[in-house]
Amino acid sequence: MAIWDSSTKWRQGHLLPKQALSELGLLTGDDSESTIAIVISHDCDLSQPPDTEPTIEVIVGRKVGKVDGNYTFAKNTRRLHLECSSVSTRILIDISATAKMPIPKNSLLQHDPDPHVRLSYEELVILQRWLVARYQRSAFADEFNRRLRSTGLESGLKTISAKFGKYLRAVFFDVDEGQENERRGDNDAYDLVVTLLYDTDNDPEVAEAKAEEARQATERLFAEKCRQGWVWKNIELRSCEVMADRALSFRDAQSFKEWRSEHVSLKNSPVQPSLHGNAASR
């Protein structure tokens, strides 16, 4: 009789084969042909016997035909568009953070991972970042987010992200050089530096050019929404910079705050820190 042990073939990021999906009752409804499920339990937990770790956590999603830039590169903590491209069959999948579920470890004992669809190493890293970001993401002050919404900046930034997001790994905000200053009235504007981090793994020259287009669109957006002549109101865009993902230093990675399209605002105090800490003066 087969037993589950550390020699298991299952790893984080593996997709369940169709037969396993069927046995688990996941192939239901009109979307059954597009249904996928990815193992998200860590390899160390997968290697443990069922009496120690009785379940495996998977996330259920579906195949889609078109990418939405708002959901690539873990920019949205609730939804991810991710390509699976390491073997001959390349697909784009759409997964939601609320679609996690445990399955009995022994339910996969007689199954091998789907041999036709698999994540590359880089794609697995994106999946891991997305899973972690839900628990470590930082939020901006309530007043700052209110101004983003009321001026139309938030919807404009989402539009830019949707258009150029497949080329951008992240959008970073440095608000008031990391100081949580209380602002009074529209004329007391927040100082903002935006950094657009572009992808260098896939055609970096094209990605850089698209990031430059996104920079110009961002500058136009802020000027239209927050500048009257030479006077800034609500939020002043001090600069918008384009940076290659490989050029991001460890210090920058610790000091930058990533802006995500679904950020929930917090009151100015207290603010829960992220693992990277608050933005610091550069």
User: What is the per-residue pLDDT across 102-120, written as a single tens digit (0 to 9) for each?
Assistant: 999 999 999 999 999 999 9
Sheet architecture: strand order including 91-104: 35-39, 55-64, 91-104, 79-84
CB atoms closer than 10 angstroms to residue 249: 10
Q: In 3-state terms, what secondary structure has residue 153?
A: helix
Among 19, 154, 136, 161, CA closest to 81 = 161
CA angle 219, 222, 224 (to 5 degrees): 105
Judge whether 153 and 225 are in contact, CB under 8 Å: yes
Given a cut of 50, is residue 278 above it in pLDDT? no
User: What is the per-residue pLDDT across 179-190, written as a single tens digit (0 to 9) for each?
Assistant: 777 888 888 999
Tokens of 211: 């990031």
Q: What is the pLDDT of residue 136?
A: 67
CA 95 to chain CA centroid, nearest Å: 11
Given a cut of 90, is residue 194 above it in pLDDT? yes
User: What is the per-residue pLDDT across 84-108, written as a single tens digit (0 to 9) for each?
Assistant: 988 888 899 999 999 999 999 999 9
CB atoms closer than 10 angstroms to residue 150: 12
Tokens of 75: 């920019």
Among 252, 245, 250, 254, CA closest to 276 = 254
Given a cut of 60, is residue 198 above it in pLDDT? yes
